[in-house]
Amino acid sequence: MNVHIAPSPTALPVGAPAKSWLKVLNRYRQPDRRRSVMELAVTLVPFLAFWGLALASAYYGFWWGLVLIVPAAGFLLRLFMIQHDCGHGAFFAHRSADDWTGRAISVLTLTPYDYWRAAHATHHASAGNLDERGVGDIRTLTVAEYRALSPRGKLAYRLYRNPLVMFAIGPIYLFVLKHRWPFETFRVAGQPWRSTMLTNLAIVALGALLIGLTGIVPFLAVHLAISVLAGAAGIWLFYVQHQFEDTHWSSGDEWGFEESALNGASNYDLPRPLQWLTGNIGIHHVHHLASRVPFYRLPEVVRDHPELADLGRITILESLRCVKLVLWDERARRLVSFREAMA
């Protein structure tokens, strides 16, 4: 039995230029502020509950309670997605409310809000542009650039793109070390030093309070584990959102924001519970094209415009294969593995 889905009154023809979607998506930008408060509450309260119970378990020696680290990390990841929306001015659509909400969450996510917001804005403005790589993204070389490296440079790049380094060591480096000291200060607009140092002071104050209540071992065993686990999941999501075979990269006059946003970011097809926990960030192509759309309205976009649902779609199984894609082949115009590049 064939089911006919009536097109949206603002539907565009299949293959419509990416730029033509901007006007369509503009009507999804307005958040429901009561919904935003609710989303914050149903994320923050469970996180604090799991976090507190895990700390109490460690403090009283009930180490089996450390299993609560896993759901706590999941809700911390969702808090980061709310911080992410605040950075785009999309959560409350009120600059002060978004900024102070993001700054408060940043103490828990170990990610200085103002610094990260500026770096992430650079990523959005230059994603897929071969001439503007280096800030707020995963380092990706072209095949020609890799071949031109010295043996030491090739080894360093291979180590950087190794899954163990990327997803196990990377979160520790990024969230525990790099975010404490903004190396990209001179490449990011705004006041990254002030943001970072004030966030560090708040983290130290919170850490000192918790260490005083529970001791240093329970604190490190619980809070660092939650942060690193959530960080690994976040890096994985960011990775598969741009590092997939049919992603879009270009340079010079060939690069265009709309085309790169819609075709250079994936539509990560996750089960509904994971989609909720990750703040629908898998619908990344829509997010890149219209970053002011609140995360809880992204499913509404693909529901109303099913022609977007299959664009850039990758499944969980397909995403696992993306790990081997490490170099951009400018002739084939796709990401390739080291083996393919050297063939």
| pLDDT tens digits for range 304-324 | 999 898 888 999 999 999 999
Q: Which of 147-151, 181-185, 226-230, 234-238 is predicted with the least confidence, judged by mean pLDDT?
A: 181-185
- Please state the length of the chain: 343
104 phi and psi angles, rounded to 5 deg = -65, -45
Rama region for 110: left / alpha / beta (φ>0; ψ in -120 to 50; rest): left
Q: Which residue has the higher pLDDT, 323 or 342?
A: 323
Amino acid of residue 266: S
Average pLDDT for residues 324-329, to the nearest whole number? 94
Burial of 33 (0-12, 13-18, 19+ CB in 10 A): middle
- Domain ranges (residues) in the chain: 28-342
What is the mean pLDDT of the segment spanning 280-293? 95
Residues 133, 126 contacting (CB under 8 angstroms): yes
Two tokens, residue 325: 């894609």
- 59 has a pLDDT exceeding 60: yes
Q: pLDDT digits over 140-191, tens only?
A: 999 999 999 999 999 999 999 999 999 999 888 888 888 887 665 555 555 6
Residue 295 near residue 79, CB atoms below 8 Å: no
DSSP per-residue letters across 137-180:
S---EEHHHHHTS-HHHHHHHHHHTSHHIIIIIHHIIIIIIGGG
| Digit-coded pLDDT (tens) for 142-151 | 999 999 999 9
14-28, 222-236, 255-269, 315-329: least confidently modelled range? 14-28
Q: pTM score, two decimals?
A: 0.90
